[in-house]
Amino acid sequence: MRPFDGRRVLLGVTGGIASYKSVVLARLLTQAGAEVDVVMTRAAQEFVGAITFEAVTGRRSYSEIFGAGNALDHIRLAREASLFVVAPATADFLARAAHGHADDLLTASLLANTAPVVLVPAMNDRMWANSQTARNVKLLRDAGITVLDPEEGPLAAGEGSGPGRMPEPETILAHLGRTLEPPGPLRGRRVVVTAGATRESIDPVRFISNHSTGRMGVAITDAAWRRGADVLLVAAHVQVKPSGGGAVEMVDTVAEMHYAVERALHEADVLVMAAAPADFRPAAPSGSKIKKKAGDDPAPIILTRTEDVLHSTIGSRKKGAVIVGFALETEDLIANGVAKLEQKALDMIVVNSAVEEGAGFGSDTNRVFILTRNGEREDVPLMAKSDLADVILDRVEMLIDGR
């Protein structure tokens, strides 16, 4: 998995209740292709055992700086690391790291390290708000170390809710991927992605929609953010959430999506229209629930066309922007894709089948054809939507480079 495959990650674990999440993070890193070396403080071992990390990484874990055979572990581990992450990073660890202590294996390894560093704080909300913690975090950030902000949410038993909670492992993984991703054409670019299914009301309780879950659009959002882009996701009833950063604007109808896209396009370097907006809406939705009456046939629902978001926003596009569309078809995939490519003035269109097993709505995988304005066609085999997102963005970066 890009960009972890074959990379060595040093994962430091300190003594906090959130260390149980670190086991999941170690597993995710390993599944993504990284080789994970876990360094545990003595306090961390009070919460989770070393054998647990060895079971999910397939590698031994480390904790002692003293003893035969351990003398140079801090140097070797630091030298071999492509990325140094500490999760959770307690208030005590932040203080020791900020002031250059090297009194255990983890802090000594940090001082010997030259790879990028990401610290993930987790503590009580009052400890996070303490002025001394704030000064330590500033010292670390001023030294070029990335310190993530903790999330708000339930804390330890009896402590209620507040800022101090360690982010979920999937969120941390996304930040680590962004740190490891080499600079490319998308870094610093404004990227707008749409995802999900709009809803057009028939009455206050019924609507016209489709089976889109938004998985493909969210995967593209995550991949673009990981590559360093400034991302806006325009989301209509998506069933998954982005794991990375960027802004999210929630919409309901095609009209709302049209407005959001048109407003954002003036500054967008890339638009990826991966959503499935409804093609039709009721011409006169009822203001009250349509009742079913015994013996009566239902009244017909007169439909009218919705706005074509891509076609109607052609005039709003930033000069030189790369515009990518999607086409979900049941027949004549290539011919229909080419027609939409031309009608909507696209640079590239991604075409897939709604009836092929493993592709289309609701699946974690997809198989597509990528068509470009200059007549190129690429048949992309069945793969995870997360991997397909990178294939698509690779082609987008090639288009950016060609401008």
Active site residues: 210
Report the length, in residues, of the chain. Answer: 403
Q: What is the Cα–Cα distance from 373 to 375, expressed in whole angstroms?
A: 5
Query: DSSP letters along 224-288, please?
Result: HHHTT-EEEEEEES-SS--SS-SEEEEE-SHHHHHHHHHHHHTT-SEEEE--B--SEEESS--SS
What is the residue whose two structure tokens read 């203080």? 95
**What tokens appear for 303 in the block?**
């439909």
A 10 A CB-CB count for 364 gives 12
Query: Is the alpha carbon torsion for 162, 166, 171, 176 positive or negative?
Result: positive
Task: Report how far apart the first and last C-alpha atoms of the chain are (Å, whole number).
Answer: 29
Q: What is the Cα–Cα distance from 354 to 359, expressed in whole angstroms?
A: 7
Taking CB atoms within 8 Å and a gap of at least 24, the contacts of 384-390 are: 385/215, 385/216, 385/219, 386/1, 386/219, 386/222, 386/223, 387/1, 388/216, 388/219, 389/216, 389/219, 389/220, 389/222, 389/223, 389/224, 390/2, 390/223
Q: What is the Cα–Cα distance from 25 to 190, expressed in whole angstroms?
A: 29
Q: What is the Cα–Cα distance from 112 to 84, expressed in whole angstroms?
A: 11
Q: What is the Cα–Cα distance from 170 to 82, expressed in whole angstroms?
A: 19
**What tokens appear for 2 in the block?**
């890009």
Q: Is the peptide bond before 169 cis (omega within 30 degrees of 0)?
A: no
What is the residue whose two structure tokens read 């902000």? 149
Residue type, 12: G
